[in-house]
Chain A
């Protein structure tokens, strides 16, 4: 089976490469490839030429200084992640078989263990490429000196993959009809919990000795608590997977790598030993899956979310409704479950803010206000990158969308509307939180001023978010082969170059989008500030939002022809 897996992996990699090379006949993809190759070249070889890479000794010294503390802290972090994997509903990519794998391999005369090993083999190309890229980026040395870091990262990635698969498989054993299997499934949970208790007790003892003076003091004490005795034994497997990346010599690397591979071997044996729960963990029973094309049966309860879609009205609203339904059903919640708690949280936040103002508890209020600001800023900056329920995710249904009798501009706006509204709601929640708690946190700032800034930010946020969605969707339309379809991620040097180009393009286009609005808003603010003071920010923000949203409207109209011309054969499809 391993040979068959290697054959599938080899052929797939070779043919994927061919497709990507063929894609380079189009200038837009060729440019992406040139940029990606240039980036790789300068990243790898810059150090040898001795100009782009600065002095490398400083990071080495830093690395040595951090080696003791860093591995301990990293080990604690890995232990926490390992524990969380049991608590959170984490899925294992190793158990996600493609439709082709289900159809061809499940009915084949191969054992579950062989299927698991097959998935592991198939994941190696991705793991290796990611490890090499991380080696290039993270290693403090140039050239082949990056190899140890890349190898260490590879071992870490494989261990993580196997561990998560082991957790998913062992979870399946909890429901086993055999008491001995159920009991055996609890052993790793028990060991992890016992280890966590030993560590927690050691850390508690260290911290209780005397109050923590600073953050670095805390780190040193955490490292000290886990450096010897039982805590160090407990933490060893979790630090072992990190040591190769931090090794400073060949000898220490070989030693560290041996430890890391030993951990991988143990985790692998544990995962394969739980293969009895394969059918449960991998989804439906193998026999059913093989003969059934329904590979993604959603385990959600259908709830009525809001009123049904009206049978007449603008097309954009219909698309917005469709995407909203997708979101609510995907997270399996009803409107009632959202609105009630949201109102309760709002009332609670207002009460808490009032209470903090009365008690002059500035510290916690400042923390919450800052957290709110971070949430709002993250939503505005990263929201459109992360929330992809627009044309990018609907590429899977492009065949269907193209048959609809809609103006492409209406369709694009409709696709953008829901994620824009969703991300805006998150940004507004953050802004509201900041405005409420900035009162007790900054009592010197006038009430009116705080709310003027909040209102201004509230007006500007949706415009900035909509502008980003416009840019993201425009790039998807012009470079469809670079868009991830469903669960698939776009890969290849041209895709890497494309990400760099996209990042630069997004920033540039956003600036271009914002400049006219900023100028118009600036003029209004300048004229009105003499009359209404800080309140002038509000009409300035309204005008800024108005100008940017008008630009968005115009841009989506201009994108229409690109949608019509778009060739579906450019979109890379998964198995």
Chain B
């Protein structure tokens, strides 16, 4: 299984941000991770990316334990955070080259050219992050994640700062990567996006998983029968905001 999370928990001091979370993501699956603010979505994604250490439990990426074999696990995943933190004095192209070097990307030139075109970054190769808009910088972060053949893709609010065309392209890109066999976990507050592109949804609240399944599976659950059939209705119902 590309992503396997078992009894994962993470605390900040006395505060439990995530508690006993378990789920899998199969190859080709696009899973939406949704929940109200403070539900523990970003903590989960950052722990999956190897940024935060789990307080309890185990995370496996493509069969590699993130704690025991972090290098092999990280080699297989790409994390695209919501905040585009880039190196201030490296150009767009240099960011891609650096990532290609660190992840040993083959056929870099072709892949980079395709990606730059796909993400509308063509012509911006030699610009510094400070010369780019927020949306463009977000695209650079996404390009850095997609320039390698990662089998696990983690997106934290991938549409933040993108223009309408960028949003549509991003949606197509995520779906295309899923069809190509990548296991994708998308955290977003845009429920219509999640409903449209995700094959499965995990709803979190107060650090716990409170629902897991396809939208139709969730809608057909006996306890959610009164909620309605849309993801938004289900979400509001399970998070207690009926």
A interface list, Cβ under 8 A from B: 22, 292-294, 296-298, 300, 302, 308-313, 315, 318, 321-322, 325-326, 328-330, 396-400, 402-407, 564-565, 567-569
Q: Given A293-B134, A403-B74, A569-B12, are A302 and B128 also a contact pair (CB < 8 Å)? A: yes
Q: From the candidates A311, A325, A396, name the one contacting B90 in the complex (CB within 8 A).
A: A325
B102 close to chain A: CB less than 8 A: yes
| Residues of A close to B103: CB separation below 8 A | 404-405
Q: From the candidates B72, B104, B133, name the one contacting A312 in the complex (CB within 8 A).
A: B104
Q: When chains A and B are docked, how far (Å) is the Cα of A308 from the Cα of B95?
A: 11
Q: When chains A and B are docked, how far (Å) is the Cα of A308 from the Cα of B98?
A: 10
Report whether B79 and A313 are in contact in the complex, using a CB–CB cutoff of 8 Å. no
Interface centre among B13, B131, B132, B134 (most CB of A within 10 A): B131
A-B contact pairs, 13 of them (CB 8 A): A292-B134, A293-B134, A300-B89, A302-B91, A302-B128, A308-B97, A309-B98, A311-B100, A312-B104, A313-B101, A322-B90, A398-B51, A405-B102
B24 close to chain A: CB less than 8 A: no
B75 close to chain A: CB less than 8 A: yes
Report whether B85 and A309 are in contact in the complex, using a CB–CB cutoff of 8 Å. no
Report whether A309 and B97 are in contact in the complex, using a CB–CB cutoff of 8 Å. yes
Report whether A399 and B51 are in contact in the complex, using a CB–CB cutoff of 8 Å. yes
B210 close to chain A: CB less than 8 A: no
Q: Given A311-B105, A325-B89, are A568 and B52 also a contact pair (CB < 8 Å)? A: yes
| Residues of B close to A568: CB separation below 8 A | 51-52
Report whether B88 and A310 are in contact in the complex, using a CB–CB cutoff of 8 Å. no
- Closest chain A residue to B127 by CB distance? A302
Report whether B51 and A298 are in contact in the complex, using a CB–CB cutoff of 8 Å. no
Report whether B85 and A396 are in contact in the complex, using a CB–CB cutoff of 8 Å. yes
Q: When chains A and B are docked, how far (Å) is the Cα of A404 from the Cα of B74?
A: 6
B130 close to chain A: CB less than 8 A: yes
Report whether A403 and B49 are in contact in the complex, using a CB–CB cutoff of 8 Å. yes
Q: When chains A and B are docked, how far (Å) is the Cα of A328 from the Cα of B103?
A: 25
Report whether B89 and A326 are in contact in the complex, using a CB–CB cutoff of 8 Å. yes
Known: A292-B134, A329-B90. 16 other contacts (CB 8 A): A294-B130, A297-B130, A302-B126, A302-B128, A308-B94, A310-B101, A311-B97, A311-B108, A312-B104, A322-B90, A326-B90, A403-B49, A404-B102, A405-B74, A564-B70, A567-B53
Q: From the candidates A294, A403, A407, name the one contacting B50 in the complex (CB within 8 A).
A: A403
Interface centre among A293, A312, A405 (most CB of B within 10 A): A405
Tally A-B pairs: CB < 8 A: 98
| Residues of A close to B2: CB separation below 8 A | none
| Residues of A close to B189: CB separation below 8 A | none
Task: For the complex of A and B, list the 10 residue pairs with the smallest distance between their C-beta atoms, beginning with the closest.
Answer: A329-B89, A405-B74, A405-B75, A297-B130, A298-B130, A318-B101, A402-B51, A326-B89, A309-B97, A405-B71
Q: When chains A and B are docked, how far (Å) is the Cα of A565 from the Cα of B67?
A: 10
| Residues of B close to A322: CB separation below 8 A | 87, 90, 98
| Residues of A close to B134: CB separation below 8 A | 292-294
A17 CB, nearest partner CB in chain B, Å: 17
| Residues of B close to A302: CB separation below 8 A | 91, 126-128
Q: Given A294-B130, A296-B130, A309-B94, are A399 and B101 also a contact pair (CB < 8 Å)? A: no
- Closest chain B residue to A564 by CB distance? B70
A311 CB, nearest partner CB in chain B, Å: 5
| Residues of B close to A397: CB separation below 8 A | 85, 87
B206 close to chain A: CB less than 8 A: no
Q: For chain B residues 101-138, which have a beta carbon within 8 Å of chain A?
A: 101-105, 108, 126-128, 130-134
| Residues of A close to B90: CB separation below 8 A | 322, 325-326, 329
Q: From the candidates B12, B79, B88, B105, name the one contacting A403 in the complex (CB within 8 A).
A: B79
Q: When chains A and B are docked, how far (Å) is the Cα of A311 from the Cα of B99?
A: 9
| Residues of A close to B52: CB separation below 8 A | 567-568
Q: When chains A and B are docked, how far (Å) is the Cα of A271 from the Cα of B163?
A: 42
Q: When chains A and B are docked, how far (Å) is the Cα of A292 from the Cα of B103?
A: 33
Q: Given A293-B134, A302-B126, A399-B85, are A309 and B101 also a contact pair (CB < 8 Å)? A: yes
B46 close to chain A: CB less than 8 A: yes
Report whether B85 and A400 are in contact in the complex, using a CB–CB cutoff of 8 Å. yes
Q: When chains A and B are docked, how far (Å) is the Cα of A406 from the Cα of B88?
A: 22
| Residues of A close to B89: CB separation below 8 A | 298, 300, 325-326, 328-330
Report whether A311 and B85 are in contact in the complex, using a CB–CB cutoff of 8 Å. no
Interface centre among B74, B75, B87 (most CB of A within 10 A): B87
B81 close to chain A: CB less than 8 A: yes
A270 CB, nearest partner CB in chain B, Å: 32
- Closest chain A residue to B154 by CB distance? A403
Q: From the candidates B12, B71, B128, name the one contacting A329 in the complex (CB within 8 A).
A: B128
Q: When chains A and B are docked, how far (Å) is the Cα of A569 from the Cα of B126?
A: 34
Q: When chains A and B are docked, how far (Å) is the Cα of A313 from the Cα of B126?
A: 23
Q: When chains A and B are docked, how far (Å) is the Cα of A403 from the Cα of B52?
A: 10
Report whether A403 and B51 are in contact in the complex, using a CB–CB cutoff of 8 Å. yes
- Closest chain A residue to B93 by CB distance? A308
Q: When chains A and B are docked, how far (Å) is the Cα of A298 from the Cα of B129?
A: 9
B66 CB, nearest partner CB in chain A, Å: 11
Report whether A565 and B53 are in contact in the complex, using a CB–CB cutoff of 8 Å. yes
Interface centre among A330, A403, A407, A568 (most CB of B within 10 A): A403
Q: When chains A and B are docked, how far (Å) is the Cα of A396 from the Cα of B86?
A: 10
Q: When chains A and B are docked, how far (Å) is the Cα of A103 from the Cα of B92?
A: 27
B157 CB, nearest partner CB in chain A, Å: 14
Report whether A318 and B102 are in contact in the complex, using a CB–CB cutoff of 8 Å. yes
| Residues of B close to A298: CB separation below 8 A | 88-89, 128, 130-131
- Closest chain B residue to A25 by CB distance? B13
| Residues of A close to B88: CB separation below 8 A | 296, 298, 326
- Closest chain A residue to B71 by CB distance? A405
Q: From the candidates A22, A297, A311, A567, name the one contacting B131 in the complex (CB within 8 A).
A: A297
| Residues of B close to A403: CB separation below 8 A | 49-51, 74, 77, 79
Q: For chain B residues 129-157, which have a beta carbon within 8 Å of chain A?
A: 130-134
Q: Given A330-B89, A564-B70, A569-B12, are A406 and B102 also a contact pair (CB < 8 Å)? A: yes
